Structure 1
Amino acid sequence: MTNLNDPPQREPGWHVLDRDLNRISRVEYATAYVSQPLVAVGMAMVFVALAALWAALVESNQSGQLIVVVASAFAAYLALNIGANDVANNMGPAVGANALTMTGALIVAAICETAGALIAGGDVVDTIASGIVARESLADGSVFVIAMMAALLSSALWLNLATWLGAPVSTTHAIVGGVAGAGIAAAGFGAVDWPGIVLIAISWVFSPVLGGAMAAGALWVVHRLVIDRPDKIAAARRWVPVLIAVMAWAFGTYLAMKGLKHVFAVSLGQAMLLGLACAVLAWAGAKPYIRHQSKGLENRNKSLKVLFQVPLVLSAALMSFAHGANDVSNAIGPLAAIVSSLGHDGAGAGGAVAIPLWVMVIGALGISVGLMLFGPRLIRMVGDQITKLNAMRAYCVALSAAVTVIAASWLGLPVSSTHIAIGGVFGVGFFREAVEARRMRQMADTIELPDMAYEERQRRKLVRRSHFMTIIAAWIITVPATALVSGGLFMILNKLQAFPVD
């Protein structure tokens, strides 16, 4: 007979089943977590396959169909990696400053990148990557096709590795290195335009230093005009419309030079006048907006971020539009050159070629799909992990990127928009460190501060040195690495004779 005071007995079978179900559910959660990255990889592979299928349908009645199909797959793969790596420079500051959520940034960037590529994307591309390789060295059709295939694949592989390492690199430098490496493998070192390579190497130093100096200078101005004033809100009402007008001038000029140059011809002077008109309109619209937004705000730095949110969102959108228009040719330029060399469209291998619409669509969609699938990691790194960004600092980064490109174009210097934007992030970070160091020195004059260990001083640095060294190293080896890989791929493809043209 069962005693009522005894604890209830659990059925052994059900008890074991509950434990097993708990274990199974934990395994399911773990499997779902591990499989998340594989979903993105699978979707990327589907996009590459669809791009190849589309090329097969479009080129079904043309000679060399297999070559175009494989090259389209390589171009789609490269476009995915450009979207995953390069677009972070445009959206990272706005996300880091909380002006945009990650989802909002992905949507805005995808729309603007696609629009920029399709509306104002390059309709003409130099098939030998801006004179990096002498035209006559790749005059043979078969050699030219294999060189372009090697350049596409090597650039895509390097960008993929850089994204995995968390290093934003220049896609232009990657494709130039790929073409140079294939040219060396095909015709020797004499085929490469070494003065052009030297100018690119100079830009490794010039671009980030100038971008960082511009961003730090802009942040110093914002501190003097607004942040360090006793009545911050009154100062903001006066000066923030002026700062917005300066940004409108910079981005109006930048967009005319980089985003609309394929739609109509525009000189630097005309672009600056167009930017000035944008500045006047922006100032007139910003004054009532800032006056309305500043009502009831507390007199502290945190309140100021509200006034910079809309300009940051607009700047990120404009930078994405200009990037889509300017850099889509990096993804599909070699593919268009292959199509042209086979006589399917436009000129031959020795000159400038028109980019067919179906090729442009592969590049535009590839950049957007790569951004949606793999962009968040680099966006977070640029926006939050190098140094802490607020709305004012992100404004300075965006402004420096546009102004530096304008200054470099005026001076005739080749620069990388990626290097400039990341240099701007480093610039505001190092400026913050300088301000903090000065504050500590002033405190030391009045009170005795305790000595800190070296490790503690390093921990309090406002720029993460590990990211700094990783990014600088990736920048330095981009061209040599892609050139080496491209040269090896060229020799393999040429040895196998996998892509006969004749």
Structure 2
Amino acid sequence: MAVVGALYGLHYDIHAAQTGIAGTPDGERMARVYAHARKYPNEVEHTYSFVQVLTACTASFAHGANDIGNSVGPWAVIYGAWSTGKVVPAKAQVDIWMLAVLSLTISLGLMTYGYNIMKVMGNKITYHSPSRGSSMEMGAAITVLIFSQYALPVSTSMCITGATVGVGLCNGTLKAVNFQRVGLLVFSWIMTIPVAGTIGGVLMGILLNTPHFKS
């Protein structure tokens, strides 16, 4: 049962979640958003299906370039200081096994809890289709890669949300974007800074004040 629960996200139907909100306030709001979106012929969208595979791979590459770097940096410094007993230089070497571990865990995170984000980003902001999705992914990927080139950590979630809003506005009206949900996302991003800071500070305080024995 534990394995089935952990792999629940692999079998979660994102499209079914879209129809599942029908009749709810969210569903009615998104119905109005979809009504203002331009619809393109299925032949055109089918052509973009392959393009979206390529843009999704590019976005994944950009995600790894930035987000894994965010995680491996502190870990490499801490591990280097622990293993050598010395101050780690500014350009410390990062072992391949560290990158492999983080690549594995980021994939596990996607398989287990990724569906929660996918159903929001895919169903509750604007109308999606392969042509739109490929533009969103490539826009976010280019942005992340540019900032990564200049060693500036950024949020992939923020970038893809911005790209989603930009593509939605290409419909020619503000009504094609669910700005209530966008506002909620922006608020959650702002709150992550003090919340993460508080939790990190509390944990560090506990570690520093843990009872210990003098050698």
Question: Do these two structures clear the TM 0.5 threshold for a shared fold by scoring above it?
Answer: yes
Structure index of larger Rg:
1
Separation of aligned partners in 2, 1:476 and 1:378:
17
**In structure 1, what is the equivalent of residue 57 of structure 2?**
317
Are 2:196 and 1:482 equivalent residues in the alignment?
yes
Structure 1: runs of 5+ lacking an equivalent? 1-34, 44-83, 85-94, 99-222, 228-299, 438-460
1:191-270 equivalence runs, <5 A: none
Task: Return 398-407 or 331-340, whichever deviates more.
Answer: 398-407
Structure 1 residues 350 and 312: alpha-carbon distance in aligned structure 2, compared to 1, 3 A threshold:
same
**In structure 2, what is the equivalent of residue 471 of structure 1?**
185
**1:53-87 CA distance string (max 9 Å, x none):** xxxxxxxxxxxxxxxxxxxxxxxxxxxxxxx9xxx
Structure 1 residues 402 and 37: alpha-carbon distance in aligned structure 2, compared to 1, 3 A threshold:
same
Paired residue for 2:160, among 389, 408, 421?
A: 421
Structure 1 residues 372 and 332: alpha-carbon distance in aligned structure 2, compared to 1, 3 A threshold:
same
Structure 1 residues 319 and 481: alpha-carbon distance in aligned structure 2, compared to 1, 3 A threshold:
same
**In structure 2, what is the equivalent of residue 365 of structure 1?**
104
Structure 1 residues 487 and 367: alpha-carbon distance in aligned structure 2, compared to 1, 3 A threshold:
same
Contact 2:126/2:176, CA 8 A, preserved across alignment: yes
Are 2:93 and 1:354 equivalent residues in the alignment?
yes
Structure 1 residues 414 and 368: alpha-carbon distance in aligned structure 2, compared to 1, 3 A threshold:
closer
Are 2:48 and 1:334 equivalent residues in the alignment?
no
The number of equivalent residue pairs is: 189
Give 1:344 deviation, angstroms: 4.1
Contact 2:169/2:176, CA 8 A, preserved across alignment: yes
Give 1:492 deviation, angstroms: 1.6
Separation of aligned partners in 2, 1:486 and 1:394:
35
SS of equivalent residue, structure 2 residue 127: coil
The one-letter code matched in structure 1 to 2:184 is: T
Give 1:395 deviation, angstroms: 2.3
1:5-24 equivalence runs, <5 A: none
**1:127-157 CA distance string (max 9 Å, x none):** xxxxxxxxxxxxxxxxxxxxxxxxxxxxxxx
Separation of aligned partners in 2, 1:369 and 1:410:
26
Paired residue for 1:395, among 134, 139, 158?
A: 134
**In structure 2, what is the equivalent of residue 39 of structure 1?**
5
The one-letter code matched in structure 1 to 2:190 is: I
Separation of aligned partners in 1, 2:158 and 2:142:
14
Separation of aligned partners in 2, 1:330 and 1:406:
14
Structure 1 residues 412 and 364: alpha-carbon distance in aligned structure 2, compared to 1, 3 A threshold:
closer
The one-letter code matched in structure 1 to 2:176 is: L
Separation of aligned partners in 1, 2:68 and 2:74:
11
Separation of aligned partners in 1, 2:64 and 2:149:
22
Paired residue for 2:209, among 483, 492, 495?
A: 495
Structure 2: runs of 5+ lacking an equivalent? 16-37
Contact 1:342/1:348, CA 8 A, preserved across alignment: no
Separation of aligned partners in 2, 1:322 and 1:424:
14
The one-letter code matched in structure 2 to 1:396 is: S
Give 1:321 deviation, angstroms: 2.5
Give 1:313 deviation, angstroms: 0.3
Task: Spell out structure 1 runs of 4+ moving beyond 3 A.
Answer: 35-38, 402-417
SS of equivalent residue, structure 2 residue 170: helix
Paired residue for 1:343, among 61, 66, 83?
A: 83
Give 1:407 deviation, angstroms: 6.0
Separation of aligned partners in 1, 2:189 and 2:46:
35
The one-letter code matched in structure 1 to 2:203 is: L
Paired residue for 2:122, among 383, 405, 418?
A: 383
Separation of aligned partners in 2, 1:408 and 1:338:
25
SS of equivalent residue, structure 2 residue 80: helix
SS of equivalent residue, structure 2 residue 92: strand
Give 1:304 deviation, angstroms: 0.7
**In structure 2, what is the equivalent of residue 125 of structure 1?**
none
Q: Provide the TM-score with structure 2 as the length reference.
A: 0.70
Contact 1:332/1:360, CA 8 A, preserved across alignment: yes
Contact 1:386/1:467, CA 8 A, preserved across alignment: yes
Structure 1 residues 486 and 38: alpha-carbon distance in aligned structure 2, compared to 1, 3 A threshold:
farther
Separation of aligned partners in 1, 2:145 and 2:60:
17
Q: CA RMSD in A?
A: 3.7
Q: Percent identity?
A: 28
1:66-465 equivalence runs, <5 A: 301-344=41-84, 348-405=87-144, 415-432=154-171, 434=173, 461-465=175-179
**1:454-487 CA distance string (max 9 Å, x none):** xxxxxxx432334212210111122222122211
Give 1:424 deviation, angstroms: 0.8
Contact 2:72/2:102, CA 8 A, preserved across alignment: yes
Separation of aligned partners in 2, 1:495 and 1:387:
49
**In structure 1, what is the equivalent of residue 35 of structure 2?**
none
